[in-house]
Amino acid sequence: MLDIVPTGKILGADVLGLDLSRPLSDEDFAALLEALGRHGVLRFPRQSITPAHLRDFSARFGGLQRTVSDANEPGIPEVSILSNIVENGKPIGIADAGQDWHTDMSYNATVGFVNVLYAIKVPRRDGRALGSTSFANMHAAYDDLPEDLKQLLANATATHDFNKFWENMRSRPGSTRPPLTPEQRAKRPPSTHPVFLDHPITGRKVLYCNPGYAIRINELDAQQSDEVLERLFAHQLQPKYQYTHEWTEGDVLMWDHIGTLHAAWPDYLPHEHRLIKRCQVLADRIFDPSFLPAALRPARDAAQH
């Protein structure tokens, strides 16, 4: 029987009693969507799944994005490999830790809905797990936003650009990333989204503007845009909105991109191996009113009025 146990913090809950190698029932699917809206970050501990299981579970929530790199599971391009392991002189995946706060896929015309990550190897030092992932609650960040910013940005949009992230990662010491090719840039063109979104599960507004990809408030001149973005980024990253997940082997972690930001911390060395497999789920279905189970719609609709 599925049991959802909150962390007691601003984000996060453990989901117990669910084997992700088995098909997800409609009842459990509805419970997970409600928990995503309520808690933002869900941990499924002690899982033992294949890449195909990870893909099939993730695909229940929407379409799956393929990466611009070739660091994917052989034969299953929807599953990315995140790793610092090198075999026979060749990396077996792409390192993801070290990117500052961001929301995956906000650069897409169709934004991201959830990430689903499966931890296979977790680096440790002196008995302490390394490579934790931190999250920030964008429901709470919007609620506490100063009134002048709520009014100024009520109908504003922001441009998000994948290249901002890519160039930031290229500038890191030791990076061997090449610039994006014209073909890769064409696959990840800039996109525009409202600064405030109505969350498709909760119906509440969230602050949807992150330092990893947002480059411009389109309705403001360049100087004012830079000033407002600086205020937004400082506000949304206050410690009171943050929650950090410490990884354990067998964890499957799912989080809501629409209602959270995240950052992965690179506090481990090359010989301290980390191996995680990931699916990125697009919000190509969750904004469709008919996709949300009927039991969840009244609460969403009430929050929007």
Residues 4-31 have a mean pLDDT of 97
- CA dihedral 282→286→287→290, nearest 10 degrees, is 140
Q: Which residues contact 21 (CB under 8 A, 6 or more apart)?
A: 47, 48, 49, 50, 53
pLDDT at residue 170, rounded to an integer: 82
E strand segments, 122-175: 124-125, 128-129, 133-137, 157-160
Of the candidate ranges 54-58, 152-156, 196-200, 297-301, the one whose mean pLDDT is the lowest: 297-301
pLDDT top residue among 266 and 193? 193
290 is in which domain, residue-wise?
A: 3-303
- Please compute the mean of the pLDDT values over residues 5-15 and round it to a whole number: 98
Say what the pLDDT of residue 195 is: 98
Instruction: Report the pLDDT value the prediction gives residue 69, as an integer from 0 to 100.
Output: 61
Give the per-residue pLDDT at 96. Answer: 65
Q: How far apart are CA 259 and CA 208, in angstroms?
A: 8
Q: How far apart are CA 84 and CA 89, in angstroms?
A: 12
H-helix or E-strand spanning residue 279? strand 275-282
What's the pTM value of the predicted model, to 2 decimals?
0.93
Strands 252-256 and 86-87: unpaired
Distance CA 143, CA 150 (A): 9
Tally the C-alpha atoms within 13 A of residue 20's C-alpha that lie toward its C-beta.
30
What's the total number of domains in the chain?
Answer: 1
Q: What are phi and psi of 78, to 5 degrees?
A: -75, -15
Highest mean pLDDT among 51-65, 82-96, 98-112, 157-171: 51-65
Do 68 and 80 contact (CB within 8 A), yes or no? no
Q: What is the mean pLDDT of the chain?
A: 93
In the structure, what pLDDT confidence band is assigned to residue 176 with cuts at 50, 70 and 90? confident
Structure confidence at residue 95 (pLDDT): 72
Q: Compute the average pLDDT of residues 122-151.
A: 96
According to the model, what pLDDT value does residue 50 have?
A: 98
What are the pLDDT digits (tens) for 49-77? 999 999 999 999 999 988 666 678 888 99
Six-digit token string for 173: 């010491």
Given pLDDT bands bounded at 50, 70 and 90, which one contains residue 100?
A: confident
Which tens digit of pLDDT belongs to each residue from 284-297? 999 998 999 998 99
Q: Residue 124 belongs to a domain with what CATH number?
A: 3.60.130.10
Looking at residue 16, what is its pLDDT?
98
Amino acid residing at 10? I
∠ CA 231-237-241, nearest 5°, is: 125
